[in-house]
């Protein structure tokens, strides 16, 4: 068995687990007070390293999923910055 398959499976599970968060973030994009900007930034940075590492070891699907995850994390970070004043005014 090719060990990169385990990376593909792990990244697929991570991607699937992150989708409900993205759906919730989309629905509440003007009020993301429950999501930490710092945590999203670390997830974004960590995913860059995962994408590069998966690509270097030859994983097939994992790098593609990482790039999609990067777009989703970047979107959430954008919403955090874009709507930061809106969420402060809600409370």
**DSSP assignment letter at 32:** -
In a domain, 74, yes or no: yes
In a domain, 21, yes or no: no
14-32 pLDDT per residue, tens: 889 989 988 888 888 888 8
pTM of the model: 0.79
Print the domain residue range for 46. Answer: 1-15+36-85
In a domain, 90, yes or no: no
Pick from 63, 75, 55: nearest CA to 12: 63
When divided into structural domains, the chain yields a total of: 1
| Cβ atoms < 10 Å from Cβ of 75 | 15
On the question of pLDDT at 91 being above 60, the answer is no
% of the chain with per-residue pLDDT over 90 = 34
In a domain, 22, yes or no: no
Identify whether the C-beta of residue 61 lies closer than 8 Å to the C-beta of residue 8.
yes
In a domain, 1, yes or no: yes
Pick from 89, 91, 84: nearest CA to 29: 84
Mean pLDDT score across all residues of the chain:
86
In a domain, 48, yes or no: yes
């Amino acid at each position: 068995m090719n060990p990169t398959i385990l990376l593909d499976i792990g990244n697929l599970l991570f991607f699937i687990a992150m989708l409900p968060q993205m759906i919730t973030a989309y629905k509440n994009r003007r009020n993301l007070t429950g999501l930490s900007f710092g945590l999203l930034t670390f997830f974004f940075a960590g995913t860059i390293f995962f994408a590069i590492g998966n690509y270097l070891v030859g994983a097939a699907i994992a790098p593609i999923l990482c790039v999609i995850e990067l777009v989703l994390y970047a979107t959430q970070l954008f919403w955090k910055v874009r709507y930061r004043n809106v969420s402060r005014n809600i409370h």
